[in-house]
Amino acid sequence: MDKSETGRLGEDFVCMHLASQGYTIAERNYRIRGGEIDIIAMNEEYLVFVEVKSRKPGSLVSGFDAIDKRKKGLIIKTASDYCCKHPNQLQPRFDIAQVTISGARVLGIDYIQNAFDTTGYNYIF
């Protein structure tokens, strides 16, 4: 299984997880020049921008640590673009999902709601 297949498996699993929590998946792999958001989901209250990191067991860098200040800025920029093109009254939220995968099998998911916010970035929602 190559990296793109592993990433897709992780994203599929997170989509199922979100659906089981009552979220509707609005977009997957939303891209603009210089940025991408893996999953955009919504419920009655939140518009959730989810970054998914798939990892093998025992990886040196966790999925959470892989999302640095630069990556957060790109996610926020992309989320701002999405909100401009798809206006709504929902509260934006930025989540991170780390999916542990061995071969073609998902071993588990660690999910952080509201993992970061726009503090320190010049984007308005």
- Does the residue 14 lie in any domain? yes
- Does the residue 76 lie in any domain? yes
What is the rounded average pLDDT for all residues in the chain? 93
Q: pTM for this structure?
A: 0.94
- Does the residue 33 lie in any domain? yes
Instruction: Name the band, by pLDDT with cuts 50, 70 and 90, for residue 118.
Output: very high
- Does the residue 122 lie in any domain? no
Quote the domain boundaries for residue 73: 3-116
Residue type, 123: Y
- Does the residue 121 lie in any domain? no
pLDDT tens for 36-87 read 999 999 999 999 999 999 998 888 888 898 999 999 999 999 999 999 999 9
**Residues near 50 by beta carbon (within 8 Å), at least 6 away in sequence:** 14, 18, 37, 38, 39, 40, 41, 95, 96, 97
The number of domains in the chain is 1
Q: Which two tokens stand for residue 75?
A: 């996610």
What integer pLDDT is reported at residue 6 of this predicted model? 86
For residue 101, give the 3-state DSSP assignment: strand
**CATH number, residue 32:** 3.40.1350.10
What integer pLDDT is reported at residue 62 of this predicted model? 85
